[in-house]
Amino acid sequence: MTKSEYGFIRKFIGATTVVILVVLSGLLPSCTKDDEPDTLSGQEYMPLSIGNYWVYNVSAYNFFGGYEFTNDSLFVSETYSDTSYYQIKEELFALDTNISGEEYIELRRYKRPTNLDDWTLDSIWTCRMRNNQFIKTENNIAYVKLDFPVYRDKNWDPNIYNELDSDSIRCELAYYDQITDIEIDSTNYNDVLEVIYCEDSTALANYSHSEYYGAEIGLIRKEYHNYDYCFAEDSIYSCIGREIIDNGTKYIWELVEFNVE
């Protein structure tokens, strides 16, 4: 083989290799950033397998205030509360179908005074997925608890599937606030989704409802309060704007046990 023939063969093989590589590169899947999975699709925040359950410690407070006008001042007695503690267990019990053919999950709720007592069936609620929304029906009232996918400041109407009158709805939109880490009873939870259902504060009242969902866990914390502030006044003194609780309620749920598949 002459030197010129050898050079021709090398050039031919090199060109053929380039063509083959170009063709193969067009056949291989593209690994761009846009093809990465959306880790916040959201549905991991509410696992819906039958048999899943969650146990919560619940703290319930009923607040009472006191005040009276004296000759020279407004006297405010110390706000106190009637407090109770108990546990709630929520279990995804069975899959069923309603008269419209839509599947739903029967959610059984149990209650007991302490972890040493037996569970007693408290109520039966339902939950389901519809149009990428997680809907939970509580005491025959349907609420959109989560709307997928998840991103910060996304908002939605939690009451779109219920018939509550406008006077009983304190806030029209729920929204995602942040992904954060929280600690409950020395247990750390990472990548927790904070959902704000309502924040409504005036000089006369304060209402707030927020829930926290853990990835691959579900609801891990819930806080709700509804306060009416003192609005008494006379020609000299007023308690308006001083955030003195005349009456109100507050509930805190915190996860203590769960089984999720």
pLDDT of residue 230: 82
Q: Out of 17-21, 167-171, 241-245, pick the least confident.
A: 17-21
Q: Which of 11-20, 102-111, 197-206 has the highest mean pLDDT?
A: 102-111
Name the band, by pLDDT with cuts 50, 70 and 90, for residue 3. Answer: very low
Domain boundaries along the sequence of the chain: 43-259
> Could you report the per-residue pLDDT of 139-160, keeping only the tens digit for each?
999 999 999 999 889 999 999 9
Per residue in 96-142, pLDDT (tens digit) is 998 889 999 999 999 999 999 999 999 999 999 999 999 999 999 99
DSSP 123-155: EEEEEEEETTEEEEEETTEEEEEEESS--TT-E
Higher pLDDT, 67 or 26: 67
The answer to whether the beta carbons of residues 210 and 194 sit under 8 Å apart is: yes
Pick the range with the lowest mean pLDDT from 64-78, 95-109, 183-197. 64-78
CATH topology of domain 43-259: YmcC-like fold (2.40.360)
Identify the pLDDT of residue 245: 84
Q: Following DSSP, what letter does each residue of the chain receive, concatenated?
A: --HHHHHHHHHHHHHHHHHHHHHHHHHSPP--GGGS--TT-SGGGS---TT-EEEEEEEEEEEEEEEEE-SSSEEEEEEEEEEEEEEEEEEEEEEEE-TTS-EEEEEEEEEESSTTSPPEEEEEEEEEEETTEEEEEETTEEEEEEESS--TT-EE-TTTTS---GGG-S-S-EEEEEEEEEEETTEEEEEEEEEEEEEEE-SSEEEEEEEEEETTTEEEEEEEEEEEE---B-SS-B-TTS--EEEEEEEEEEEEEEE--
pLDDT tens, 33-47?
Answer: 344 334 356 789 999
Confidence of residue 69 (pLDDT cuts 50, 70, 90): low
Q: pTM for this structure?
A: 0.79
Provide the sign of the torsion angle of the four alpha carbons 44, 45, 50, 51, taken in this order. positive
Better-scored residue on pLDDT, 6 or 58:
58
